[in-house]
Chains A and B, each alone.
Chain A
Amino acid sequence: MPSNKSVSDAPITQFINCRILRDNELQREDLWVREGRILDPEKLFFDEQGYADKRVDCEGSIIAPGFIDVQINGGYGIDFSQASEDVSDGVSFVAKKILEHGVTSFCPTLVTSPPEVYHKVLPQVKVHDGGPHGAGVLGFHLEGPFISAEKKGAHPEKYLRTFKSGGLEHLMEVYGSLDDVAIVTLAPELPGSQSVVRELSQRGITVSLGEHRVLLLVSESVSVQPGRFHALSNPSVSAVVQFHHRDPGIVGLLTSDGIPAGRAVYYGMIADGIHTNPAALRIAHRAHPSGLVLVTDAITAMGLPPGRHTLGQQVIEIQGLHAYVAGTKTLSGSIATMDMCVRHFKQASGCSVQEALEAASLHPAQLLGISPKKGKLDYGSDADLVLLDEGLHVKATYISGEEVWRKGQ
């Protein structure tokens, strides 16, 4: 009898022959799961006189908390920003496929779009738990349209906006609803942004400062203009700072002494080996290792086989890990999967296995304020797991203690 049922009679699973990521290190410990959460086996033994119903032999695998991708624009031919009738199906399709990359939760990301798109797409997808059907949706990541025209990157300029007076109401007009939104990326140098940032954070939405040139502006103004700095000092804001490019100017912000004690700054990095210079990865990691959040920023072409693909208005050519605008050498976006990013990040930055894994699990969870429920293997944490081999290739993925993907099946 597995337990005296004094606490619960739900079945107990014990993962053996594994190394688990806990307390910032890989420990040679068994992992116990009951009712979708990590269980304290010592309490089980002494309080309930319980033991496992089922043992899973991990054959020496590493067990890390499931990866969390907070910036992913689509994949497998699906574009989240496309205003179709079956956005929900598209998100679900991608959600299921990314289980193979060890991703157990994600934020479907919408690039700068006209209001009609937001009004159509946002209501179709709700925050929901993952499971055998796919990774959990933590909420949308709305990247734009309130970003700077100066460094718009791939965002269509005609849809960029500034805040009209009335900050948040204007935001609501554009987006329609913020109910299932987890992150909003905006440009803090836009006038009116401060009150918007405050109001968003009060609703529990993470605010991300978009585009690297803006960062330089912010980092300079942190010490020069106390008023502007207010956006970062809001206690409920954890700012995600993005840069897609080779400029390590972020160091100024990350190491700024203008950031108050106890406040965390996180920054997203695409470690696909193409979009971010390895030196930039190393510098950022060494400057502020605990704030580094790995993101895929994957585009529609992610997961598609090599060759030409017509995606919406574009023709993309996939060669290895590069996705070009067909017939050119212009990159159209990143197609690396999350596990590839983890491996590449480790190799390029020279960091440890645990640091690489935390950048894809613990840090995104902390950024979103959902740790330790997600992103950790503490007693009581959700049992969203990724089993990896020595080289950090995904062997199996679990959500709430249930196996949802296994290599070779």
Chain B
Amino acid sequence: MRLVILDDYDLASEWAAKYIRNRIVQFKPSADRFFTLGLPTGSTPYGCYQKLIEYYRHGDISFKYVKTFNMDEYVGLPRAHPESYHSYMWNNFFKHIDIDPANAHILDGNAQNLEEECQAYEQKIAEAGGIELFVGGIGPDGHIAFNEPGSSLVSRTRVKTLAKDTIVANARFFGNDLFKVPTMALTVGVGTVMDAKEVMILITGAHKAFALYKAIEEGVNHMWTVSAFQQHPRTIFVCDEDATLELRVKTVKYFKGLMHVHNKLVDPVLSIKDQ
């Protein structure tokens, strides 16, 4: 695991965006060889999306040969609802970049048959050649995507009923009315994300600190599903100072001491203009 610690949210967002940019540019995607990217939603990755849009606007990256797979989507929420993950991705990312709509995949929470939708999604990922880089976040209860505490660590894409914690955390997007928050969601499984060649988890804010502690300093445990990535060969956790508040000082010092190594991954920052 690499634990990359930046001073604040903006710097963490920028580091993550630079990393994604370098990975895509280095990969040299083309019509025969797409870069497959797994994507999250929520307030944590927002800053990262803003930076990626900026890089696109400056002509430094293109998403023309990038295929994206989002982690999750609510069940039963109209796609045009402002809080659906389709709306989030359109407004905060897709509408600003040059991705081909046919290559932007998001689970359909209004599908006639939800199980079939989930299986079809796994199929699409396989047909795309698997995910090159899966970007994710972490919930306050340590979940990755909607893999709530108790989710199998080898789970696949499926329907999940949301935990109370998650519903409460999401209420702020639904006018603080708990009854308006969807209770089910389609989500990629822990196993689905583990299949990716590389996983990058973004964690910012003090309210996520305990979950980060549980995820990396304690054992692999299905109650804190992000801990599964301790067993992935290539995981990067990108966080800000606040998110490290529950970690041991020794852990933080060790990884901060490695920043000069980590920074080689984003410095120099690459551009398609130079290719």
Contacts and interface: CB of A to CB of B under 8 A. Distances in A.
Find the residue from A30, A44, A46 having the highest chain B CB count within 10 A. A46
Contact of A30 (B95, B100, B101): B95
A41 B101 contact: no
Interface string B135-167: 000000000000000000000000000000000
**B contact face: mostly helix, strand, loop, or mixed:** helix
Interface stretch (B8-16, B79-87, B178-186, B234-242): B79-87
6 contacts: A42-B90, A42-B91, A45-B94, A46-B101, A51-B100, A51-B101
Contacts of B87: 42
Interface residues of A, number: 12
A46 B106 CA distance: 9
A41 B95 contact: yes
Nearest to B80: A42
A46 B91 CA distance: 12
A43 interface: yes
A290 interface: no
B101 A49 contact: yes
Given A50-B101, A51-B101, 6 more contacts: A42-B86, A42-B91, A44-B101, A45-B95, A49-B100, A51-B100
A229 B98 CA distance: 59
Find the residue from A45, A48, A49, A51 having the highest chain B CB count within 10 A. A45
Contacts of B106: 46
Q: Classify chain B's interface size.
A: 10 to 19
- The 7 A-B residue pairs whose C-beta atoms are closest, nearest first, are A49-B101, A49-B102, A45-B101, A42-B90, A46-B86, A51-B101, A45-B90
Given A51-B100, A51-B101, A46 B79 contact: yes
B245 interface: no
Interface in B77-124: 79-80, 86-87, 90-91, 94-95, 100-102, 104, 106
Interface of A: 4, 30, 41-46, 48-51
A41 B91 CA distance: 10
Contacts of A43: 80
B80 A45 contact: no
Nearest to A2: B101
Contacts of B79: 46
A53 to B, nearest CB: 14
A48 B104 CA distance: 12
B186 to A, nearest CB: 15
Nearest to B98: A51
A45 B95 CA distance: 9
A49 B99 CA distance: 10
A41 B101 CA distance: 11
A188 to B, nearest CB: 45
A267 to B, nearest CB: 36
Contacts of B100: 49, 51
B78 to A, nearest CB: 12
A49 B106 CA distance: 12
B101 A42 contact: no
Contacts of B102: 4, 49
Nearest to B94: A45
Contacts of B80: 42-43
A4 B101 CA distance: 10
Interface string B70-82: 0000000001100
Contacts of A51: 100-101
Contacts of A42: 80, 86-87, 90-91, 95
Interface in B19-75: none
Nearest to B90: A42
Contacts of B90: 42, 45-46
A49 B101 CA distance: 5
B214 to A, nearest CB: 36
A43 B80 CA distance: 8
Nearest to A45: B101
Interface string B232-269: 00000000000000000000000000000000000000
A142 B150 CA distance: 75
Find the residue from B80, B90, B101, B102 having the highest chain A CB count within 10 A. B101
A48 to B, nearest CB: 8
Contacts of B86: 42, 46
Nearest to B101: A49
B39 to A, nearest CB: 15
A42 B104 CA distance: 12
Nearest to B104: A45
A4 B100 CA distance: 12
A42 B79 CA distance: 10
A43 B86 CA distance: 10
Contacts of A48: 101
A44 B94 CA distance: 12
A45 B91 CA distance: 11
Find the residue from A4, A48, A50, A51 having the highest chain B CB count within 10 A. A51
A56 to B, nearest CB: 16
A48 B79 CA distance: 14
A44 B100 CA distance: 12
